[in-house]
Chain A
Amino acid sequence: GAGVSQTPSNKVTEKGKYVELRCDPISGHTAIYWYRQSLGQGPEFLIYFQGTGAADDSGLPNDRFFAVRPEGSVSTLKIQRTERGDSAVYLCASSLTPPGLAGDLQETQYFGPGTRLLVL
């Protein structure tokens, strides 16, 4: 079946501009996660949605970053007043059930291909 999809695949913008990055989870998956991967680093957690609400946004670096999931399916990561340091690959993942179930019941996070953001 279809995996997690992200659009656009690449985004080039200028410092100070606003950008939106979209994530389509696997059909039926209730949880969505956003990560950011800088060059030479592993992905870093940004925010997690269960349904329409952000259950954990502790990874958002500052208030320029915001994410929504209004209908409990597609999620959009929004970055205001972009800075050169925001340049990275933004990854989205989804899981069938929320985390918090011990043992083998905890659902695996499946990752999308990412959006490569370049802020000039």
Chain B
Amino acid sequence: AQSVSQHNHHVILSEAASLELGCNYSYGGTVNLFWYVQYPGQHLQLLLKYFSGDPLVKGIKGFEAEFIKSKFSFNLRKPSVQWSDTAEYFCAVTAVSASKIIFGSGTRLSIRP
């Protein structure tokens, strides 16, 4: 069965610090990978997605993620965070041709102004 692990439950950073949120998935086949973000009081929004090709994916708001197939990882990065990045971040995976998205448990990111 597919699963997604996000090992950091709560990350606290100061503004301008660099960010890396870990994500590992478990699935033996070809996958599509996603990062979703949920800002306070708002609904889930897609941050970035990987389907194929360049394993370094760039998303909105300066975020990027790197797919490392050998490590089953899809870590999210941002070189310099802002207070407005305070949110819950979810890593997710689908098997190609599957309907369901499997989500991790989320990482809450708090940014100190």
A interface, CB within 8 angstroms of B? 3, 31, 33, 35, 40-45, 48, 55-56, 58-59, 91, 98-104, 106, 108-114
Query: Hey, which bits of chain B sit against chain A, CB under 8 A?
Result: 4, 30, 32, 36, 42-46, 49, 51-52, 90, 92, 94, 96-106
User: Which secondary structure dominates chain A's binding surface?
Assistant: loop
Could you show 10 A-B contacts with beta carbons less than 8 Å apart? A41-B106, A42-B4, A59-B100, A98-B99, A99-B94, A106-B51, A111-B36, A111-B43, A111-B44, A111-B45
Given contacts A43-B44, A99-B97, A111-B43, is CB(A104)–CB(B105) below 8 Å?
A: no
Q: Which of B44, B51, B104 gathers most chain A CB within 10 Å?
A: B44
Q: Are A42 and B100 in contact (CB under 8 A)?
A: no
| Closest B residue, CB atoms, query A42 | B103
Q: How far is the CA of A48 from the CA of B100 in the complex (A)?
A: 8
A102 CA to B32 CA, complexed, in Å: 9
Q: How far is the CA of A44 from the CA of B97 in the complex (A)?
A: 18
A42–B104 touching, CB < 8 Å: yes
Q: Is the CB of A45 within 8 A of B102?
A: yes
Which residues of chain B have C-beta atoms less than 8 A from A45's C-beta? 99-102
Q: Which residues of B contact A106 (CB under 8 A)?
A: 32, 51, 94, 96
Q: Which chain A residues border B42 with CB–CB below 8 Å?
A: 113
Residues of A within 8 A of B43 (CB): 3, 91, 111-114
Q: Is the beta-carbon distance between B105 and A42 smaller than 8 angstroms?
A: yes
Interface hub of B43, B97, B103, B106 (most chain A Cβ within 10 A): B43
List the B side residues contacting A48 at CB < 8 Å.
Answer: 99-100
> Out of A3, A58, A91, A102, which one reaches B96, CB within 8 Å?
A102
B106 contacts A56, CB within 8 Å?
A: no
CB-CB under 8 A from A31, the residues of chain B are 99
